[in-house]
Structures are given as structure tokens and as C-alpha cells.
Structure 1
Amino acid sequence: MAMKLDQLRSFEAVARIGNFTRAADELFVAQPSLSRQIGALETELGTELFRRAPAGVTLTAAGEVLLPIARRMLGDARTAREQLDELAGLRRGRVRLGAPPTLCVSLVADVVAAYRAAHPGVELHITEGGSRFLVDALNEGALDLALVVARGAQPTAPATELIPLLSEELVVVSASGAEARGDSLQHQCTLAQLARMPQVAFSRSYDLRVATDAAFAAAGLTPTIAVEGAEMDAVLRFVERGIGVAVVPAMVVIDRPRLRSTRLVRPQLRRTVNLARRTDVGPSAAAAAMQQIVFETVDRLAAPGTDLAQRVTVASHP
């Protein structure tokens, strides 16, 4: 069996879009040509990959099995091309980095700025999502590297390893002018005190929301919710305007003078930030440089004497 990259590329596009015509438009090929590629692939495999219907196509059981394999093979082919392109140096290339929204507004912003300054010719693609989604995307070859968070069970997949970067406290943030308005937050806040304060709660799709809900439930507490279901940027803006407080990772407060950070105690909540990478495929030169800049940025942000040093513990890097 000799599956061709063009066949796999056509298969992945049809599977993702669910329509032969739109997939052909995306790939800049004629629809009959794309249909022949899919037909040839099905003949080679000896099974149908799609269920055809007037409204579109869906994957058969065989198609569901093939899709992650095809994405991984296409990702490996892209990596091979990029590595060959980069033999002359990091004048060009591409890095696809995934991270949760809570890291995109803190660590990732610093990483991207440092990388662009060092390697302006390399394209950067950032994907936001939950840790499980990012690990799956990495394993399928859709990402080169991912930053993922964990509390307890690690989100792992075959041929993927997690390198601990740091352990970070979750803190309570309020508007920086809240003290003048009589806010009860002092230098620290217990979970029981927090439960009585109006809170701006993240969408339930956030790992952070899952962790805080679990902590309240374990303590037999019911939080007071002022606003619920917001995304990261909206949560921070709502807090800045004094609508309520929010629980966020310590790094989120960097360079945000309109937010005041208060330590959360009894219990203290922490999370681990990891760098996820594939072990069965070597990184491209551009991805290897990104990995090094991630390590350097973490060390710089939580260096002794910085504001974060008391709330972030940096792990030993390889």
C-alpha cells in the first residue's frame, strides 16, 4: 500500500470541510480530479472513507481511523520540508505553537515578542485551546510545540512528552482602585472569603474554571457569581471595571497596572505549566529555537527579585 501525500491532503481537506466542492476550491484543484484522488485512495485501502449524501459527506469508521494518521503524516512531511529549507539558517521557516488562553495573555506574548526579535523571517502560528485538544493536535502533527497546564493527571498521548516549565499560584485579582472603594481584599484571601465576593467566572470550557469549581465543591462552598461564561480578555476587563474579582494564574497580572493581585490561601491553588513536544519526530530548526526561547523567557520572568519570584517556581530544564 503506497498512499500518496496528494491523496492524503485531499482526504484531510474533504474530512475537515465535509464537502468535495469546497475542499477542491481550497486546494485549487478541479472537483473531478479531487474525486479521482479520493477514489484511488479508497481503492488502495479496499474500503470506503466517506458516506456521500446530497447535504455533504461524513467519515466512515475507516475514515475516522485514517484521519489522525493522515494528519500526522502530512505534518511530518511539512517538518521534513522545513528542516531542509532551514539548513541555511533561520532566515525562513514556520513554527506552530499551541497554548491555552490563560498563557496566551501572559507567557506566550513574551515568547512571541522575543522570537520575532531574534528570527523575524520565521512565520509564527498560534493556536488557542484546552490542554487535551492541544496535545491531540500535537500528536496529529498539526502543532510543532504546545504549552499545556496540568493539575493532577497529565494530558498525554503516544509519542508525546511533557517537560515541566514552572509551577504557578492561582491568585485573586481585583480592580487596582478597589481598596479605596472599601473592598475587603487584603494581602491574602481564603477560599471561604472568596466565595462570598462577587466573581467574574470564566467559561466552563476553561481548565481554570474546572479547577476553581472543584476547589469550591471540595470545601462545601458555593461561590457568588456576578458574571459567568466570559473569555479571558473579557474577564480581565470586567474585573478592571470593578464588576467583581476573578481567580487567575499569577503570570496574568504581569504589566497590568489596573489589576491588584491577592494571594489565595487555605487552600492554595497551583497549576503546572509544561512544554509538550513529539518524541518520534525531531524538531525543525525553527521549532528548536522556539523551545529554547520558551525556556529563557520562563527563567527571565520568574528570576529572583522579580514580582513573580514568590508565586512562580521554575523547573529545571533539559
Structure 2
Amino acid sequence: MKLQLENLSSFITAAEKGSFSAAGRELNKSQASISISIQNLEIDLGFELFDRTNKYPRLTEKGDRVFKNAKLMMSQYDNFIEKTKSIYSVHEVRLRVGMDPLICGPEIIQILCEFSENFPLVELFLMQQSSCTLFDEIKNNNLDLALGIFPSRDKIDCEFVTAFHMHSSWVASPDFLKKQGESLSFHDFCNSRLLLPTDLSCMGMGELKTAPQCWHVEDIHTILTLCRNGMGISFLPNFVIANDLEFGRLKTVSLSFNQLKNDHWRTSIIWPKSYILGPAMNWLHQRLTAIEYI
């Protein structure tokens, strides 16, 4: 069954206006044209929609049911037309954004919520992977923009801008600190297992290379579990370890030497070389770089 929208429109208007002639005036058509459209619709459906025995046509029981369904369908059709017109004016229909899970604090989630309100017609594909993986995805043009912890601009072949800093801390389990003490010397630090979510040497922490026991664990939940079980110490953003510190599952570790006094990570935004940011991407870029610390 293939129903013509024009026939449905004539039928709905006739039912609402109470006569074929009134429907014709509303749609700028002749009464005969309206009558033919409705007859064709009745042929397609296989039953009469109007009782024509009186002066003015009246909907049959089946016609009344069709009228209600047709009104609902046409409202959806009108909504479809409006959305299609809106899409015509949208520069970016679908954006591919990558974010390292380590940087997805509450502020970032809030920005994504604001993005959905400001750009309701833009479909967002959000990839959450390690910064190394996101970097490769940018190089292969599989992402439009990525936020993570990347080496300085002179070491990468893509567009690069510094975003914000994240307050971070060295942490360990209470049992670990009972054995090692809450303040580690450089000797104790180098002889402890370091549980690191990424390579921190690119952030001015080259001293980590002197530590022989480095475990690089990309998954945050795994690294937290290992740390809680006394496997070593870890350097993580404060929002990641907040609950563990509150409930005593982890404690902060102080370092008695000066080389590793960095208490923050510097995040960056990267995108493909020579790629021009559209309105939606530029909005994200501006909101993310407006943050100072999280």
C-alpha cells in the first residue's frame, strides 16, 4: 500500500473543515480536486472514509480512526521537514572527538552537557582511549579533535594548543605507607613500583627513568585496584583519587627530594594538520582552553 501525502492532506483538511469545498479553499484547490484525492485514498485503503449521504460529509468510524492516525503521522512529517531544514544550515553534522579518560573530570562532563544544548543537531562520536591511541587516531584522520596528555608541539605532526592543568598527587595504600613511610627519599622512591597511567617523562618528569620498576597501566580502574592492594605508588589526577582518599583506601605520598615537585599534569588539544575548525569544534576548543585548573 502506497499512500500519497497529497491525498492524506486533502482528507485531513476536509475532516477538519467539515466540507470538501472548505478544504479546497484552505488548500487553494478546487472542490473536485479534493473529492478525487479523497476517493483515491479510499481506493488505496479499501474502505470509505466519509459518509456522503447528508449535505455535509461525515467521517465514518473507520474514517475517524484513520483521521487520528493521519494527524499523528503528518505532525511527525512536519517535524521531519523542520529538522531537515535546520540540518541544511548546520556546518558540522557529526563530530569525532577523542578524550583520555584521565582528564574527564566533572568540568569536562559539564562542557559536554553544554555542548548538547548549544548544538542539538550535531551528532557526537566520543572516543575514550589513552593519549597515545588518540594521537595515532588524529594522525590517521580518524578523529577531528582530541584532548589528552601529549608531547610538546615540536614533537608531533599535528595542530597543537595547551589546554589546562590538572591538580595531581602521588598516592599509595595505607599498608604500603606503613612499610615505607609517608615521605619517600629518592632511594625509596626508585625502589618502589611506580604504577603510571601514561609516560610522564614528556611532562618534565624525566627522573622517572631512573626507577627500574615502572608499570604502565592505561586502565584507571586497574591502576587504582593495584594501588589499593599495595602494589606500589601512583601519580593520578585529584578528581580520580578523591573517593579513595575520602574513604581511606589511599593516602597521599610526599617526596623528600625536589626533582619531582610537579603537582599537576598539563593537557593539550590536538587536531589534524591544516584542519579548519567549524563552529561546533571551535566552541569546544574555546571552552576547553578557558579552563585553568581542574
Aligned partner of residue 141 in structure 2, secondary structure: coil
Within the candidate set 167, 170, 173, 2:171 is matched to 173
- What is the letter of the counterpart of residue 174 of structure 1? A
Identical-pair percentage? 15
Aligned to 1:245: 233
Cα separation, 2, equivalents of 1:234 and 1:240:
10
| 1:244-291 deviation line (CA, Å, top 9, x unaligned) | 421224553356534433455532256431111346332232222222
Counterpart position of 1:144: 144
Task: Give the aligned partner of residue 13 of structure 2.
Answer: none
Select the structure of larger CA radius of gyration.
2
Superposition TM-score, scaled by structure 1 size: 0.48
> Pairwise mapping of residues 1-318 of structure 1 onto structure 2 (< 5 A)?
85=87, 87=89, 93-104=93-104, 108-116=108-116, 118-119=118-119, 121-131=121-131, 133-151=133-151, 154-157=154-157, 160-168=158-166, 171-175=169-173, 178=174, 182=178, 184=180, 186=182, 189-200=184-195, 202=197, 206-208=198-200, 215-218=207-210, 221-223=211-213, 229=217, 231-250=219-238, 252-254=240-242, 257-258=246-247, 259-264=250-255, 265-268=257-260, 269=262, 271-278=265-272, 280-296=274-290, 298-299=291-292, 302=293
Cα 1:248–1:150, aligned 2, differ >3 Å: closer, same or farther? same
Instruction: Figure out how many residues of one structure are paired with residues of the other and give that number.
Output: 203
Alpha-carbon distance change, 106 to 165 in structure 1, aligned in 2, over 3 angstroms? same
Asked if structure 2 preserves the Cα contact closer than 8 Å seen for 1:165 and 1:273, the reply is yes
For residue 135 of structure 1, report the CA deviation from its aligned partner.
3.6
CA separation of 1:210 and 1:151: change in aligned 2, threshold 3 A? closer
Structure 2 SS opposite 1:162:
strand
Partners of 2:179 and 2:118 in 1: how far apart? Answer: 44
Unaligned residue ranges in structure 1 (runs of 5+)? 1-83, 303-307, 309-318
Q: Give the CA deviation at 1:183.
A: 6.0
Contact 1:93 1:123 in 2 (8 A): yes
1:191 touches 1:266 (CA, 8 Å); kept in 2? no
- What is the CA distance between 1:173 and its match in structure 2? 1.6
Q: In 1, Cα distance between the equivalents of 2:205 and 2:162?
A: 24
Deviation at 1:120, TM superposition (A): 5.1
8 Å CA contact retained: 2:99, 2:146 = yes
TM-score by length of 2: 0.51
Deviation at 1:232, TM superposition (A): 2.0
Root-mean-square deviation (CA, aligned residues, Å) is: 4.2
Gaps of 5+ in 2: 1-85
Q: How much has 1:195 moved relative to structure 2?
A: 3.0
More helix by share: 2
Cα 1:286–1:211 change in 2 (3 A) is closer
